[in-house]
Amino acid sequence: MVHGGIVSTDRMPTVADQAPGLESIGAILEHGRDILAAGGSALQAVEACAGLLEDDPQFNAGRGSVLNEHGKVEMDAAIMDGRDLSAGAVAAVCNIANPVRLARLVLARSEHVLLAGAGAVRFAAHCGMQLAPDEYFVTAERLRQYLDVRGRTGHREEDRPGGTIGAIARDGHGNLAAATSTGGIVNKPPGRVGDSPIIGAGVYADNASCAVSATGHGEDFMRTVLAKTIAGYIELQGHDAARAAQAGIDYLVRKVNGRGGVIVIDSAGRCASRLSAGKLIHGWIEHGGAAVCTCRDTK
């Protein structure tokens, strides 16, 4: 499964399945299928799919990231391997074209889970990653959104463009993996970090339960540790993906009136999505079937 974030209902096209980004979602799903069919791991598949979503300026991650209040791009990302709970994450990084690939390097080549800011960028240079110039990230659409928000007074949080991306997978060996990446919230203060790089909040994978990627108001997901909460419904209470995703969203709303959504694959390969507001741009391939892409509230 992959997602390209949530759009508010007042920005929805007349036909949900004509929402922006769905064609890209479909192509990326097929790319992930090809990786798994060739014997690739779930971890390889989610890294590759999340990286392609970061490359697409339609989504708020990598090249399409929104601008903070200083007109700069700061990005967060995480990746997790359900085989052994190994994980890597980066927060508030600049000039990294694919933050999810840097997160994978943190997982593979460091003893840490989360690196932030300038330290994460120095680690990228140590690993041989090339930095991208500022102009690579500042697209005309994101600049327009930034200027629009800056020009308004009393703007509501839900009016701010968002669109975190995520990818989750189960491979032929039954291993699960998850990745989440975002540019955050437009006009955010420098240094603000949301749930995307926080293991257990915006991303989680454990072969004993499920893989989860979240999108929405990050502070709500951090307060409820939502991705891990959903995994707990599966591992401890025996829920399947659909029931656990719904229970998680119900918990999010009940506890903090949270706004957002999740995609989930359980250990049996069942896919689900649920959300509390807006519509989710997402797609899935379940048990080797046909690829399905939509912008609706549930799978």
d(CA 295, CA 279): 6
Residue 46, C-beta contacts closer than 8 angstroms, at least 6 positions apart: 32, 79, 167, 168, 169, 177, 178, 179, 211
pLDDT at 7: 86
Model-level pTM?
A: 0.94
Which domains are seen in the chain, by residue range?
2-296 (3.60.20.30)
Could you tell me the two tokens for 277? 């507001």
Beta strands in the chain, from DSSP E residues, in sequence order: 2-7, 75-81, 86-93, 114-116, 165-170, 176-182, 203-206, 210-216, 260-266, 271-275, 279-284, 292-296
d(CA 172, CA 269): 10
pLDDT at 298: 72
Which residues are catalytic, by number?
A: 164
At which residue do the structure tokens 């699960």 appear?
176
Residue 196, judged by CB atoms within 10 A of its CB (0-12, 13-18, 19+), counts as: buried
Mean pLDDT of 217-239: 97
pLDDT band at 16 (very low <50, low <70, confident <90, very high): low
Query: Model confidence over 235-248: pLDDT tens digits?
Result: 999 999 999 999 99
Could you tell me the two tokens for 243? 């029931």
Q: Is the pLDDT of residue 156 over 60?
A: no
Q: Is the pLDDT of residue 154 over 50?
A: no
Q: Is the pLDDT of residue 61 over 50?
A: yes
Which amino acid belongs to residue 21? Answer: G
Mean pLDDT of 43-53: 98
For 117, half-sphere exposure in the C-beta direction (CA atoms, 13 angstrom radius) is: 5
